[in-house]
Structure 1
Amino acid sequence: MHRGDGDAHSARWQWESEADAEQTDREALELSQLPGDGAVRRADLQRDQSVRKWGPVTPSATVIGRAKSPEDDLSDSIRRLHEERHSAMAGHSSRMHHLDKLRVSHALCNDLSLTPWQRDCVLGVMSELDLTAFGSQRAIPKVALVVIRHIVDRERELHLGLDDTEWIRGLPPERMTDLYDQFESLTDEERFTNLAEKHGLDVTSLNRLRRVLREQLDQHGLEYAVHGRNPHRDPNLPSLTSRWKSSAEAGD
């Protein structure tokens, strides 16, 4: 309250004015709690659902760089960048093709429940294989299925010893027949057959493409390529045999 020069009427009027202002401020701060208060108006809701959700569309809305105006197109350098004809994007398509080979092959290996070693062998061959040698059948899923069939059958042949031709020749006919009866090709499994049929491959196509695959493996030395593994061991690392010897001595 501000008192003037002793005038009681002026002091009382100043006091009442300040009290009324504080009461008005308190009333303004109180929120209304009546039904429907604070809800979005029907007109605003209609605009949000019909008009406001649509943004303006320009030629440069989804591309890198900006044109001079919304009606103009991008410059030639930016256009070359988007079409992968720019020097900064050299090799991009080949890198994406390489990643697609690994991704599709890995998915097929998981679908067929291959072991980690068989999967790494398939990825090692697919990562370095030139698919153009397969002609019209060079689609990644088709070639990947051929490689999977080759790797799995090769591992099963190694397990039975069918890869050793000299040893096979020295076996009696009964023993040889028994070994070949034990061998089960991946093409005999229903899951692989369904995948092959899905991608348009029959037994004849699989056998023909496998011959092409063997030629490519022999030509490029990819028969025992393994993804993520290197046959040339670092000489600075301890060998596995030394670990086994030390563990055996510790056990004794």
Structure 2
Amino acid sequence: MASYDMEHGREGEGSLSGEELYIDKHVYETAFESPNATAVGKPDDRQKKRIGTDDDRLHQLNEERHRALKGHSNRMHELDKKRITEALCSALDVSNGEQRLVVKHLQELDFDQFGNQKAVEKVSLAVIRYVVDQQRLEHGAEWDDLVRNSDAYTDVRERVLDGDRGFMKLCEKVKSAVEEQRFRAMTGFSDVPGPDPNLQNTGRRR
């Protein structure tokens, strides 16, 4: 690289100082380039000589925005599930302990498994119906004490379902999903497979 005299300009370079000439000749290497500007050479070559263009920065900002919005959407969905479930529990005279149990099961469910019946209100009502009644039966409650046999449940069900006849099928799916949750919790079962006990350990012994 040629050296420059920062104190004195070279002959024929006018009244600009050496420092000004150096900056003037090299500023293009780090200058910001507009995507609409006319340029010579291949785009890849030009990109190596710049910090970035409007398109680059806009693309980066959009990626960050999409990630933030996705996280925000997930958080809002979880808050909606909790809020709606608590409101239904309050309308059905469910105790605080029963409500916490319902919310716990609900937040662990994958709603996609319920297909077109995955509306939060419907799934929440089905979870309350099964989890609370099962809890009460295990503690010796009578049939009349169950949520599904109360006048409040009949009223809430009519308002939430609005004539939907597929609710009982949803209840069966919810029952299976909750029982699977309980099985996994009791056995410590995980989707991640462990080592096959029938295979010998081929690792190095210490």
What's the TM-score once normalised by structure 1's chain length?
0.44
Paired position in structure 2 for 1:183: 143
Q: Which runs of 5+ in 1 are unaligned?
A: 1-74, 162-181, 226-252
- The CA distance in 1 between the partners of 2:150 and 2:161, in whole Å, is 17
Aligned partner of 1:148: which letter?
Answer: I
| 1:210 to partner: Cα distance | 2.0
Q: SS of the residue aligned with 1:114?
A: coil
The CA distance in 2 between the partners of 1:102 and 1:222, in whole Å, is 23
How far did residue 77 of structure 1 move? Answer: 5.5
3-state secondary structure, aligned to 2:126: helix
Take 1:114 and 1:190, find their aligned partners in 2: how far apart are those partners?
13
Report the identity percentage: 28
The question of whether the paired residues in 2 share the 8 Å contact of 1:156 and 1:183 is answered with no
Contact kept, 8 Å, 1:121 with 1:224, in 2: the verdict is: no
Summarize the Cα distance change of 1:78–1:206 in structure 2 as closer, same or farther, 3 Å threshold. Answer: same
Aligned residue pairs total 129
8 Å Cα contact 1:101-1:140 kept in structure 2: yes
Q: Who is 1:108 aligned against? A: 88
- Aligned partners of 2:80 and 2:183: how far apart in 1? 19
Match of 2:62 among 64, 77, 80: 80
C-alpha spacing 1:127/1:198, structure 2 compared with 1 (3 Å): same
Q: Name which one, 1 or 2, has greater alpha-carbon Rg.
A: 1
Is 1:139 aligned to 2:119, yes or no? yes
RMSD, matched Cα: 3.1
2:128 aligns with 148
TM-score (norm 2): 0.53
Q: Does 1:210 align with 2:171?
A: yes
Asked if structure 1 preserves the Cα contact closer than 8 Å seen for 2:84 and 2:120, the reply is yes
Return closer, same or farther for 1:88/1:188 CA change in 2, 3 Å cut-off: closer
Q: Are the counterparts in 2 of residues 142 and 201 from structure 1 also a CA contact under 8 Å?
A: no
Kindly indicate whether the alpha-carbon contact (under 8 Å) linking 2:102 and 2:132 is maintained by their aligned counterparts in 1: no
Aligned: 1:193 with 2:173? no
